[in-house]
């Protein structure tokens, strides 16, 4: 047996309470392990620790597993009667049988040696306060990300200097087009018609740039976007239309015109805000990047000095800002920009404070990599699921990948975190930080639909970038932030794409299987680049998703009820075709 491939610990996503009654236990092994049994029971079933009594647990086979590129991930759920659990694993690899304990592997003979002290895995107590709880509503939400300056300008907006005519085609970062909050409010009925149930707004607080990630005043709506009252109206009207609202919080860094930073620049170490930032060597230079290390900033950008989120005054200030947003606007969540660089201390404080204020508040971190350390129940509820973005995208971009590669990548995304987090992950294919999906797939509309079909059938919460519903194009930042082409909504191409996207949204909202955590990859179709997977819900309903990446049509039969199709004819799935059917 490949001992080095076997891994388990009683923490993180390996062993954790799903709720107050159920305990999830996961094990990673090599692919040589064919069967796994869990032997579990109460630690005190035979007496207290150290006693002479022999402990015997209940032996159950673990039948659920996911295949990764180099490993097998085994998962089971147990219900400890007395809220505590003691266990070990029995591993079968060919003719070998090994018993896996906390301190290693034993043979049956070693395990049964008289006087042998066995180091069991122990979950000492499933405290309700320690259960990772995430807001239920997020899994039901279809998000729509809006970059305010480029989405819509309100019909009654007064003329402003520096506003360009609503544009078509490529844009530049310094250009302002005048999109604002009243424009978003005017389009809420349009969004409701699409089936959208959540809006994610990129920053709207006062800032110098059009993207607003260089905050000047966290307590003030940027005047180019509107007023406090217009923000309240937007949220209130959104709620009346069944749409939640999430703001973007930029707390890793401020802008160069943030009052405390200006005070530091004026007074240096004598400023009462000096320790609000990470200044290493005074004086600092603002006329070049920060590679000299005199102070830390976002991505070496001198105009975005890094906030010291280890500082108690800064933590208190950010707490006040976030609670103020809830009080003033009644928002439903905050997305934390550069969410992996702020301190854990800040995030733990915010989690406690904001959940106490609004129990089902959604805390989302912008983290592009494995975020396990932030998803343990006392910081973020979820992160932006960029690993899933690349897992889906790479299959269609890299023609050397097979359906097995696709399955391995997807399975890896859903074995990184606890189920509670998987259920509310923020799944997306493009954003203000990436090229747009249709551009990335070279304008291949059918491939665009394939990727969206995959996105809409994954566990978590779905987000589309504004304009995705009409196949909006755009390269990398800033080109991905083009003006929403409202005059193109009725074009033949827009209507065709919109109808398909609306169908996926409707299915996502109405079919439990689309949102369910449960899926597997059966490999019943022989073609290596026809991805296939089954989704199941708690009631046993099943759907099949087929995505043809082959150069030829694939025979898939005509059984089941077709829920969504693109390029499916008489039992054959055409190249770049998509089929979702109820089995």
Catalytic residue list: 337, 366
E strand spans, 501-570: 518-520, 530-536, 542-548, 554-555, 561-569
**Bond preceding residue 283 cis, omega within 30 of 0:** yes
567: nearest Cα among 549, 583, 544? 549
- Cα–Cα distance measured from residue 67 to residue 396, given in angstroms and rounded to the nearest whole number: 20
Query: Which residues, 6 or more positions from 316, have their beta carbon under 8 angstroms from its beta carbon?
Result: none
- Cα–Cα distance measured from residue 474 to residue 438, given in angstroms and rounded to the nearest whole number: 8
Residue 121, classified by CB atoms within 10 Å of its CB into exposed (0-12), middle (13-18) or buried (19+), is buried
Q: What's 324-393 look like in SS3?
A: HHHHHHCCCEEEECCCCCCCHHHHHHHHHHHHHHCCCCEEEECCCCCCHHHCCCCCCCEEECHHHHHHHH
Query: Which residues, 6 or more positions from 576, have their beta carbon under 8 angstroms from its beta carbon?
Result: 444, 446, 447, 450, 548, 549, 567
**Bond preceding residue 529 cis, omega within 30 of 0:** no
Q: Which two tokens stand for residue 202?
A: 């990129």
70: nearest Cα among 371, 518, 395, 411? 411
End-to-end CA distance of the chain: 38
Q: Which helix (H) or strand (E) is 510 found in, with range?
A: helix 492-510
Q: Which helix (H) or strand (E) is 505 found in, with range?
A: helix 492-510
Longest dimension (CA), the chain: 88
- Cα–Cα distance measured from residue 75 to residue 418, given in angstroms and rounded to the nearest whole number: 11
Using DSSP's 3-state secondary structure scheme, residue 528 falls into coil
Q: Which two tokens stand for residue 439?
A: 């551009």
Residue identified by tokens 């896996």 is: 100
Packing angle of the helix pair 344-357, 312-329 (nearest 10 deg): 30
Q: Which two tokens stand for residue 132?
A: 């990772």
Ramachandran angles phi, psi of 228, nearest 5°: -55, -45
* Residue 348, CA distances (Å) to 99, 376, 385 in order: 38, 10, 21
Q: Which two tokens stand for residue 10?
A: 């009683």
- Cα–Cα distance measured from residue 461 to residue 486, given in angstroms and rounded to the nearest whole number: 26
């Amino acid at each position: 047996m490949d001992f080095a491939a076997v891994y388990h610990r009683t923490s993180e996503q390996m062993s954790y309470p799903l709720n107050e009654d159920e305990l999830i236990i996961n094990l990673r092994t090599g692919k040589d392990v064919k069967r796994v049994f869990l032997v579990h029971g109460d630690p005190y079933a035979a007496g207290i620790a150290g006693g002479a009594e022999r402990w015997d647990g209940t032996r159950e086979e673990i039948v659920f597993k996911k295949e990764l590129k180099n490993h097998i991930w085994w998962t089971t759920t147990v219900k400890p009667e007395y809220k505590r659990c003691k266990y070990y694993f029995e591993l079968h690899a060919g003719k070998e049988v090994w018993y896996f304990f906390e301190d290693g592997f034993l043979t049956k003979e070693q395990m049964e040696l008289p006087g042998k002290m066995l180091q069991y895995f122990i979950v000492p107590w499933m405290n309700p306060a320690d259960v990772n709880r995430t807001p239920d509503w997020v899994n039901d939400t279809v998000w729509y990300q809006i970059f305010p300056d480029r989405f819509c300008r309100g019909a009654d907006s007064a003329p402003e200097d520096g506003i360009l005519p609503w544009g078509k085609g490529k844009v530049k970062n310094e250009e302002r087009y005048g999109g604002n909050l009243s424009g978003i409010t005017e389009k809420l009925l349009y969004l409701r018609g699409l089936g959208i149930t959540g809006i994610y707004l990129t920053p709207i607080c006062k800032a110098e740039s059009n993207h607003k990630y260089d905050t000047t005043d966290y307590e003030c709506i940027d005047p180019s976007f509107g007023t406090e009252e217009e923000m309240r109206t937007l949220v209130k009207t959104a709620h009346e239309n069944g749409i939640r609202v999430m703001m973007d919080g930029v707390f890793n860094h401020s802008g160069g015109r943030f009052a405390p930073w200006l005070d530091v620049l004026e007074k240096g170490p004598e400023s009462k805000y000096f320790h609000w930032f990470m200044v290493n060597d005074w004086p600092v230079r603002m006329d070049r990047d920060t590679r000299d290390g005199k102070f830390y900033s976002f991505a070496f950008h001198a105009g975005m000095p890094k906030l010291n989120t280890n500082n108690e005054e800064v933590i208190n200030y950010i707490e006040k800002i976030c609670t103020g947003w809830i009080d003033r606007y009644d928002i439903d969540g905050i997305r934390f920009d550069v969410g992996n660089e702020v301190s854990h201390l800040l995030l733990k404080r915010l989690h406690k404070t904001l959940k106490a204020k609004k129990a089902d508040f959604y805390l989302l971190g912008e983290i592009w990599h494995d975020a396990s350390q932030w998803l343990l129940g006392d910081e973020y509820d979820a992160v932006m699921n960029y690993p899933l973005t690349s897992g889906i995208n790479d299959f269609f971009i890299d023609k050397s990948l097979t359906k097995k590669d696709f399955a391995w990548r997807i399975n890896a995304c859903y074995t990184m975190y606890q189920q509670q987090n998987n259920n509310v992950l923020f799944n997306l294919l493009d954003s203000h930080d990436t090229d747009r999906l249709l551009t990335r797939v070279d304008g291949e509309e059918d491939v665009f639909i394939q990727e969206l079909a995959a996105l809409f059938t994954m566990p978590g919460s779905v987000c589309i970038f504004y304009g995705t519903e009409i196949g909006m194009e755009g390269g990398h930042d800033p080109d991905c932030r083009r003006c929403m082409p409202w005059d193109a909504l009725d074009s033949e191409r827009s209507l065709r794409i919109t109808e398909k996207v609306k169908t996926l949204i409707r299915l996502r909202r109405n079919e439990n299987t689309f949102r369910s955590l449960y899926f597997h990859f059966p490999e019943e179709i022989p073609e290596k680049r026809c991805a296939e997977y089954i989704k199941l819900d708690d009631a046993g309903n099943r759907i099949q998703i087929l995505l043809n990446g082959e150069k030829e049509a694939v025979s898939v039969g005509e059984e089941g009820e077709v829920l969504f199709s693109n390029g499916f004819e008489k039992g054959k799935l055409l190249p770049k075709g998509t089929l979702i059917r109820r089995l």
